[in-house]
A and B are shown apart, each in its own frame.
Chain A
Amino acid sequence: FAGLADVSIAEDIPVEGEITVPVGAHSPDEDYSTLDEPVRETIMRDLKAVGKKFVHVLYPKKSSALLRDWDLWGPLVLCVSLALMLQGGAADSKEDGGPQFAEVFVIIWFGAVVITLNSKLLGGTISFFQSLCVLGYCVLPLVVAMLVCRLVLLAGAGTASFLVRLLVVAAMFGWSTLASTAFLADSQPPNRKALVVYPIFLFYFVISWMILTFTPQ
């Protein structure tokens, strides 16, 4: 380094340059802009994702599509339709009646949040919104049961209709619980699985109870 001994930098010459390293070109499929596509395409893409998740709930094979790309549109639609269908059964007096719209909403969303917190506190590895998404989507069989119940009640409200409703609600309750357990149980530590599954069971039981006790005016 002998030759560098007499190198000196004048103080009045500013030193400048670029520190940033230019990023490589984007890979082609990351770079498409969704800003210019027609609105129909945007909506259809989200609708298709929601529809795919509905199908996954109805046939729960151990796929993780529900867990990876979560969205809350499906749960919102299911919750609103269930709450709407549970209307019209309230008696005149405020006290004895079916659940109000707000009560159904609060039970479903607050219940899902509490169950998610419970599974995370017990050491689960699933993220908060993924769990909400799964629990919300698995209400689908119960919404189908509600639809069937309302149709059966149109035909009459006797013992036979009650038995039919009981069977349908019980079957859908089992389906909901099994579907959500299939999605959620893998993310729990093995010695605490039952502790996580029980609140899910209680949650769907309460929703089934609300559906079964629906009596039109």
Chain B
Amino acid sequence: MAAVDDLKFREFDDAANLLAANPDATTISIDEPPEVHKNQHGRAGERGREEDDELLGTDDSDKTELLAGQKKSAPFWTFEYYQTFFEVDTYQVLDRIKGAVFPVPGRNFVRLYIRSNPDLYGPFWICATLVFAIAVSGNLSNFFIHLGRPTYHYVPEFRKVSIAATTIYAYAWLVPLAVWGFLMWRNSKVMNIVSYSFLEIVCVYGYSLFIYIPTAILWIIPQKVVRWVLMMFSLCLSGSVLVMTFWPAVRDDNRRVALATVGTIVLLHALLSVGCLAYFFDAPELDFPAPVTPVHNGTTLITK
């Protein structure tokens, strides 16, 4: 009987063979689990991505990946919109600072630490601390340099605080704006794989300025060599954070444009540190007590 035959178990052919026999049959495909996809991309993708994959296994990575889709849905005139830029805990801020002070070659600061959760807390308060660190250290260092001179009267030089504030905040916000605009413009011409949002660039610049806070405090030491060594050291550290961030974003471009971009970023950074050192910290002259040379008509002449 046909019914009994129908109930017998039947081996099914391979899906590919079945489809070859009957090409127009409807098919259902079930997606593979996402871990397999990530591994495939990791092997085929760039160096940076591979290293990110092995680091993506940490705890808060899952949270931030999920939350990334829910952020910034409030309109920009509400308070909640700005609250989304302060979704950081203490340990996250400290982690980001650590990542900016100890850059590891090959690890992109934005991909590793920011992970589409840029915050405004770090850039704002690091700049504020840097402003006051430079102003206070400059004042202290001038005090110690000119201490022995009889004509020196200590002044707090409070004007310099506003100058420092203008300079540092302008650098930390206008230069990222320019860099972002430039990257957007190049992105429209050349298809880049890596592109950063404006706030991520502000974050990188803000956190990279952190190394200058201890540097400014150490600049109190009135030795020229020490100051320049410190400046070179901190410039290397923070410059390398910036270079490692922006090199993946421009390296697919024309070679000259890429090098010029990265070079300009480093140059502006160097200009900032040299300018701060020159303006806020007086040059430590070799200041010994003034020698007194007696002149023959009996008056003493004090020479500097």
| A→B interface (CB under 8 Å) | 89, 91, 94-100, 103, 118, 120-123, 191-195, 198-199, 202, 205-206, 209-210, 213-215
Give 1 or 0 for each of B118-133: 1 = CB within 8 Å of chain A CB. Answer: 0001000100110010
Q: Is B158 touching A98 in the complex (CB atoms < 8 A)?
A: yes
Taking the nearest CB of chain B, how far is it from the CB of A135, in angstroms?
16
Contact B132 A194 (CB under 8 A): no
Determine whether the beta carbon of A191 is less than 8 Å from that of B156.
Answer: no
Set of chain B residues within 8 Å of A202, measured between Cβ atoms = 125, 128-129, 132
Residues in chain A near residue B136, CB distance under 8 A: 209
Question: At the interface with chain A, which of B14-22, B81-89, B260-268?
Answer: B81-89
Contact B139 A213 (CB under 8 A): yes
Please give the distance in Å from B296's CB to the nearest CB on chain A: 38
A214 partner residues in chain B, CB cutoff 8 A: 156
| In the complex, residue of chain A having the shortest beta-carbon distance to the beta carbon of B159 | A95
A91 touches B132 (CB 8 A): no
Interface residue count for B (Cβ, 8 Å)?
Answer: 25
Q: Which residues of B are in contact with A by a Cβ distance under 8 Å?
A: 79, 82-83, 85-86, 88-91, 93, 121, 125, 128-129, 132, 136, 139, 153-159, 162
Are A91's CB and B125's CB within 8 A? no
Using known A-B contacts A191-B89, A195-B121, determine if residue A213 contacts B156 with beta carbons closer than 8 Å: yes
| Contact of B155 with A215 in the complex, beta carbons under 8 Å | yes
Main secondary structure of the interface of B (DSSP, over half): helix
In the complex, what residues of B have CB within 8 A of residue A94's CB? 159
Closest chain-A Cβ to B67's Cβ sits at a distance in Å of 15
Chain A residues contacting B157 (CB-CB under 8 Å) are: 95-97
Bound together, the chains give a CA A89 to CA B93 distance in angstroms of 39
Residues in A whose Cβ lies below 8 Å from that of B83: 121, 123
**Complex interface: chain B residues within 8 A of A91 (CB):** 153, 155
Taking A122-B121, A199-B125, A213-B139 as contacts, is the C-beta distance between A97 and B86 under 8 angstroms?
Answer: no
A103's nearest neighbour on chain B, judged by CB, is: B158
> Closest 10 A-B residue pairs measured CB to CB?
A96-B155, A213-B156, A121-B86, A191-B89, A194-B90, A99-B158, A96-B157, A91-B155, A98-B156, A122-B86
B159 contacts A96, C-beta separation under 8 Å: yes
* Chain A neighbourhood of B139, CB < 8 A: 213
Give the residues in chain B near A195, CB-CB below 8 Å: 88-90, 93, 121
- Complex: A122 Cα to B89 Cα, angstroms: 9
A191 to B88, CA, bound (A): 9
Q: Chain A: which residue is nearest B143 at the CB level? A: A213
- A–B Cβ pairs within 8 angstroms, 25 of them: A89-B156, A95-B157, A95-B159, A96-B155, A96-B156, A97-B157, A97-B159, A98-B155, A99-B156, A103-B158, A103-B162, A121-B83, A123-B83, A192-B88, A192-B89, A195-B93, A195-B121, A199-B128, A202-B125, A202-B128, A209-B132, A213-B156, A215-B153, A215-B154, A215-B155
Additional pairs, 11, CB under 8 Å, beyond known A121-B82, A213-B154: A91-B153, A91-B155, A98-B155, A118-B121, A123-B86, A192-B89, A193-B90, A195-B88, A199-B125, A202-B129, A215-B154
Indicate which residue in A123, A192, A206 contacts B132 across the interface (CB closer than 8 Å).
Answer: A206
> In the bound complex, what is the Cα–Cα distance between A191 and B94 (angstroms)?
12
State whether A97 and B158 are in contact (beta carbons under 8 Å apart), knowing that A118-B121, A123-B83 are contacts in the complex: yes
By a CB distance below 8 angstroms, the chain B residues around A206 are 132
Check if B159 sits within 8 Å of A215, measured CB to CB.
no
Closest chain B CB from A33 CB (angstroms): 38
User: In the complex, A120→B83 CA distance in Å?
Assistant: 8
User: With the chains together, A209 CA to B132 CA distance in Å?
Assistant: 10
Interfacial chain B residues near A213, Cβ < 8 Å: 139, 154, 156
Chain A residues with Cβ below 8 Å from B88 are: 192, 195
User: Inside 8 A of B85's CB, which chain A residues have their CB?
Assistant: 121
Q: A98 to B91, alpha carbons, bound, how many Å?
A: 38
Tell me which residues across on chain B come within 8 A of A198, comparing CB atoms: 125
Q: B125 — which chain A residues lie within 8 A by C-beta?
A: 118, 198-199, 202
User: How far in angstroms is the closest Cβ of chain B from A5?
Assistant: 56
- Residue of A with least CB distance to B156: A213
Specify which chain A residues have a CB less than 8 angstroms from the CB of B89 in the assembled complex: 191-192, 195
Which residue of A89, A98, A121, A202 has the most chain B CB atoms within 10 A of its CB atom?
Answer: A121
**How far is B82's CA from A213's CA once the two chains are assembled, in angstroms?**
37
Cα–Cα, bound, A214→B23 (Å): 90
Chain B residues with CB below 8 A from A123, complex form: 83, 86
**Chain B min CB distance to A206 (Å):** 6
Q: Which partner residue on chain A sits nearest B93 by CB separation?
A: A195
Contact of B90 among A89, A118, A191, A215 (CB under 8 A): A191
Provide the bound-state CA to CA distance between A123 and B80, in Å.
10
Q: How far is the CA of A99 from the CA of B85 in the complex (A)?
A: 33
Bound CA–CA A191/B89 (angstroms): 6
Task: Report the minimal beta-carbon distance from A167 to chain B, rounded to whole angstroms.
Answer: 18
Chain B residues whose CB sits within 8 angstroms of the CB of A205 once the complex forms: 132
